Amino acid sequence: MKEGEITQLLESWKQGDRSCEGQLANLIYPVLLDIARAQARRHRGSLTLSATEVAHEAFERIYEQRAVDWQNRAHFYAIAATVIRRVVVDYLRQRGAEKRGGDVDLVPLDSLQESEQPSAAHRIDWLDLDRLLIALGQEDPAAMKVVEMRVFAGLSVEEIATATQSSVATVGRQWRFARAWLGSRLQGDLGVHD
């Protein structure tokens, strides 16, 4: 399926064309499942939901967002990153509440290249990362979206540039800034020193 056809399906769906729902579901559910599988690998054991359950919940949440002005497939990936992040964080928060402050969920960021990992640590508390992403979004919303798309959807810098209609150089700068910003705060919060 070509990029324009995906955009057209998303736009038709937004306009209320229910006849394209099956075709759209067949297109986006595998994408969500791939993203969810990547999240499961990153969460190694701390996420007891299956990738299928994460993808299903994400699909349900995206289905409710009919009003989104879908621009293209890359824009869908950006929205999917946000939704997957919310599913994972909501689950971890609920699980943490059930444990009443039990174990902190720490996971390795080994799916990112070494040069792309935050300098603070090899393991990250995902709820802490979520809190910091919210703070980063208040300071630099574009950098926060880059982190979200890179970490939660696994998009490359080039794909993020397409989704955000920015240059690769701009996205690269935003990614480096966000890594440094998060790294300095994660280092302080987690007491990890280089």
Q: What is the pLDDT of residue 105?
A: 46
| Mean per-residue pLDDT over the chain, rounded | 75
Cα separation, 35 vs 37, in Å, equals: 5
Give the rounded percent of residues in the chain with a pLDDT score beyond 70.
74
Bridge partners (DSSP) listed for residue 179:
none
Phi-psi region of 117 (alpha: psi -120 to 50; beta: other; left: phi over 0): beta
Residue 40 has pLDDT above 90, yes or no: no
pLDDT band at 61 (very low <50, low <70, confident <90, very high): confident
Q: What is the pLDDT of residue 111?
A: 43
Residue 1 has pLDDT above 70, yes or no: no
Q: What is the pLDDT of residue 123?
A: 53
User: In this predicted model, what pLDDT tens digit does every residue of 78-108 receive, in sequence order?
Assistant: 888 888 888 888 888 887 665 544 444 444 4
User: In this predicted model, what pLDDT tens digit does every residue of 140-179 receive, in sequence order?
Assistant: 999 999 998 888 887 889 988 988 889 999 999 999 999 8
